[in-house]
Structure 1
């Protein structure tokens, strides 16, 4: 039975974080970004409760305006979170009903900026804090809340074709049995060294965490990889084939690959040329044969352009296609499937209820469409663990992870919070030297956090150690 929630207040704070390695993807090289944290105060079925959520404010993904600076991008995401806080404050109803009203205001109403992924960022952040507060009040895990329909979710209210469908309600969407672990699909960034001989002293840093791909494979037993394409077929083929050789030399059998273009290819003809070049090379051909999907090949503005539909269907006959940045509306995936796309990314920064709606669509259609877990650099504790909890609920077999590689472990959170996370989740973290880091064993990470009371975490959140948004944004970023 759905809970009744009254949102008494939403507060926001943030912390600046620096990478340990530069992360090149799309049109940006990430070296610094803040994590914004939301705290919701609420009454749930008459019980006073609170909940937390957090996200890294990644520049040049939600909006790829080359005229805007990294600092301006982050300020835009802060503003999105503040508008969402306004939409939620004072709202009452079921958690799903409260979300629906806030979503309408922030994406299509008086609080909308006109950039849907940006507007959705704040909505998704406060949504997760609300879900956490709901779970905390009921003393249930997120999985238990879905099982007992605590949120009142109904996919039929979002996608008309699911109205009255047996898969529309959350108990029908929960993966059973829930997995204990998920395979890590390791991101190979555009600037990442592939061999240890390529690692400069400046990149080596002051810890023993791997830098080169071959060392990551040796340390963690990796066998699934997310590769990046940059929009130039000749350059992309050379690097992709070299990655395949490194993976082969490391002794990985039956590797899993996904390929992400991050909107870098302007037209389908050039994407087809990339596949042609890969298939003409022995190493490239092995990549194509092991490719589970090609992610977001075209700019979001052209993804659902009717003029591309025929070309997209021809490309989809060669490799499964997945939308990511183009997934900016509740019905985006449903519309994309009519063009020939088969997959959609799952990212908590785009919304949990939206991910549940897409799962309902996949289950109801039963036509080979699918969801895939992609990582917009989820850092410990809250972003990572809540994202893994969503992965567990949806039953996804592998999950892109990159926050552990590009950022310095739990150094990104206050010391007391890092120690609490290690104590509460020793299956997920470990101490290496003077740093607490993600525990990856045999290429996988634990999903036990999904069973914690609340939304994905049992450690204490050190709210007071965070800073006001105005203070964080006062100094230039990146």
Structure 2
């Protein structure tokens, strides 16, 4: 492999656009009806003086990064802005030319440490670098004229753990070879989220339900998109959850291929979740759903998840960490307690996903019969940069399915100017469609086509990613 290109960070700008949800999204104790989406633009400069522009975008979902009930949604938004600006200050202050990976690795620990001082937990403190790293990689790939999949397989980012002080458990693992052997997917299954406030049947109408022609119930979503994979949210109230699961089971038991359950930190202890799981698996009416449930995501609160041994429960059902996967070494800690799965979530950082995928490969190879796994999860990703970059990542990692919910809770690109919508549709005519007065994610037979992402950049195709930057609500 050629020596990875080195560069410095010239400039970073942030812009925001308000996104209003067409349906309330209830997960755990939170219900989201609107929030900003942040867009990042980065200019990098190479040793020869040439520059390249890259971009990224992510929703600023409240009550996920920090679930402190004393904080308002606006407080949560400001935490993420603080994370972004802190990362910008750190990345731009370094005038030395480095690889994309080195820019991340150098600032990873200091930004976490500074986050503690600023009152940011590791998830929130990692949000800023996660966005910057994606935009930086986009700029690098555009400079090289390489797609994300080709560039990652060639390790153009220069990902090397040697001497980094990060992920020391992977010492001796051939990361470059692992990356070169990835088999990118041409399509991926959209695992549909069933939120706690979602209607199951069309007759279960909610107050203020939209009349935009799009599905508002689980039954209607299956009819429109052809979903076969599902993620079902749990509330932590066993009686209510079992009743809801029975209603859902009647709808999906004949079509479902894969089902995952998401505890969203709603259980105080492993024993509390074990009690729910025992009732869940012993209910005869739920047998078809139980048979297709492949893992349970983050049942325990993050304050408890990495302190309680769940090995006994994990022998009955694989357990995955999501919110507790807050640092690069969290999955290593979780493994010691019995967890075998970890989420790939773009808001936590692309390098974390790659490192955790490498761990799964190494652990499974070392222990025949082991089944450590990475699962693609969502943060209400929106069409445009957010969806494109996350799909490029999970497609390159070879995942068979990824949670997708942004297409259900938000009315496509309705918040974007028409020119931006049409340009994205022209650039990704198999990824998107125009229907019901907006460009939106195209899902057919439960599948999302990834072919248009095989283009220069990190899911963008060109500098600026077809985004109407001058139409944003605010820039800073």
Question: Is the Cα contact below 8 Å between 1:347 and 1:376 reproduced in 2?
Answer: yes
Residue-by-residue CA offset, 1:380-422 (whole Å, 9 max, x unaligned): 1011110000001111010000000000101133322111110
In the other structure, the counterpart of 1:240 is 245
The 1:174/1:217 distance shift into structure 2, 3 A limit, reads: farther
Q: Secondary structure at the match of 2:249?
A: helix
Q: Which moved more, 1:20-29 or 1:270-279?
A: 270-279
Per-residue deviation at 1:346? Answer: 0.3
Residue-by-residue CA offset, 1:88-129 (whole Å, 9 max, x unaligned): 114331111111122222112488534110000111011111
In the other structure, the counterpart of 1:269 is 271
In the other structure, the counterpart of 2:318 is 320
In the other structure, the counterpart of 1:476 is none
Question: Is the Cα contact below 8 Å between 2:429 and 2:452 reproduced in 1?
Answer: no
Q: For the residues of structure 2 that align with 1:287 and 1:339, how far apart are their CA atoms?
A: 26
In the other structure, the counterpart of 1:159 is 167
> Out of 127, 138, 145, which is 2:144 matched to?
138
Question: Is the Cα contact below 8 Å between 2:343 and 2:376 reproduced in 1?
Answer: yes
The 1:272/1:407 distance shift into structure 2, 3 A limit, reads: same
Q: Secondary structure at the match of 2:390?
A: helix
Residue-by-residue CA offset, 1:160-195 (whole Å, 9 max, x unaligned): 1212312x22x5225643211001100001011000
Q: For the residues of structure 1 that align with 2:180 and 2:247, how far apart are their CA atoms?
A: 39
The 1:303/1:313 distance shift into structure 2, 3 A limit, reads: same
In the other structure, the counterpart of 1:304 is 306
In the other structure, the counterpart of 1:409 is 412
Q: Secondary structure at the match of 2:355?
A: helix
The 1:362/1:44 distance shift into structure 2, 3 A limit, reads: farther
In the other structure, the counterpart of 1:289 is 291
Q: For the residues of structure 2 that align with 1:97 and 1:255, how far apart are their CA atoms?
A: 41
Q: Normalising to structure 2: TM-score of the pair?
A: 0.93
> Out of 335, 359, 362, which is 1:361 matched to?
359
Residue 194 (structure 1) aligned with residue 196 (structure 2): no
Per-residue deviation at 1:44? Answer: 3.6
Question: Is the Cα contact below 8 Å between 2:126 and 2:348 reproduced in 1?
Answer: yes
In the other structure, the counterpart of 1:473 is none
Q: Normalising to structure 1: TM-score of the pair?
A: 0.93
Q: For the residues of structure 1 that align with 2:219 and 2:180, how far apart are their CA atoms?
A: 36
Per-residue deviation at 1:227? Answer: 0.2
Question: Is the Cα contact below 8 Å between 1:143 and 1:174 reproduced in 2?
Answer: no
Question: Is the Cα contact below 8 Å between 2:153 and 2:181 reproduced in 1?
Answer: no
Q: Secondary structure at the match of 1:410?
A: coil
Residue-by-residue CA offset, 1:421-453 (whole Å, 9 max, x unaligned): 101001011111322111100101011243120
Residue-by-residue CA offset, 1:234-290 (whole Å, 9 max, x unaligned): 111111111011113xx41x5310000100011111211111111222232222221
Q: Which moved more, 1:385-394 or 1:145-154?
A: 145-154
Q: For the residues of structure 2 that align with 1:340 and 1:211, how far apart are their CA atoms?
A: 37
Aligned-pair RMSD on alpha carbons? 1.6
Unpaired stretches in structure 2, ≥5 consecutive residues = 365-369
Q: For the residues of structure 1 that align with 2:402 and 2:356, how far apart are their CA atoms?
A: 17
In the other structure, the counterpart of 1:257 is 259
Q: For the residues of structure 2 that align with 1:197 and 1:155, how far apart are their CA atoms?
A: 54
In the other structure, the counterpart of 1:451 is 454
Q: For the residues of structure 2 that align with 1:220 and 1:175, how far apart are their CA atoms?
A: 32
In the other structure, the counterpart of 2:53 is 50
Question: Is the Cα contact below 8 Å between 2:153 and 2:182 reproduced in 1?
Answer: no
Residue 462 (structure 1) aligned with residue 468 (structure 2): yes
Q: For the residues of structure 2 that align with 1:265 and 1:421, how far apart are their CA atoms?
A: 41
Q: For the residues of structure 1 that align with 2:191 and 2:18, how far apart are their CA atoms?
A: 26
Per-residue deviation at 1:80? Answer: 0.9
Question: Is the Cα contact below 8 Å between 2:60 and 2:77 reproduced in 1?
Answer: yes
Question: Is the Cα contact below 8 Å between 2:260 and 2:296 reproduced in 1?
Answer: yes
Question: Is the Cα contact below 8 Å between 2:421 and 2:438 reproduced in 1?
Answer: no
Q: Secondary structure at the match of 1:72?
A: helix
Question: Is the Cα contact below 8 Å between 2:147 and 2:453 reproduced in 1?
Answer: yes
In the other structure, the counterpart of 1:475 is none
Per-residue deviation at 1:201? Answer: 6.9
In the other structure, the counterpart of 2:33 is 31
Q: For the residues of structure 1 that align with 2:407 and 2:25, how far apart are their CA atoms?
A: 12
Residue-by-residue CA offset, 1:115-172 (whole Å, 9 max, x unaligned): 1100001110111111111111111111121122211002454221212312x22x52
Residue 431 (structure 1) aligned with residue 429 (structure 2): no
Q: For the residues of structure 2 that align with 1:399 and 1:369, how far apart are their CA atoms?
A: 17
Question: Is the Cα contact below 8 Å between 1:262 and 1:297 reproduced in 2?
Answer: yes
The 5 A counterparts of 1:307-386 are: 308-309=308-309, 312-366=310-364, 367-386=370-389
Q: Secondary structure at the match of 1:14?
A: strand
Q: For the residues of structure 1 that align with 2:284 and 2:384, how far apart are their CA atoms?
A: 42
> Out of 199, 213, 216, which is 2:221 matched to?
216
Q: Secondary structure at the match of 1:412?
A: coil
Residue 72 (structure 1) aligned with residue 75 (structure 2): yes
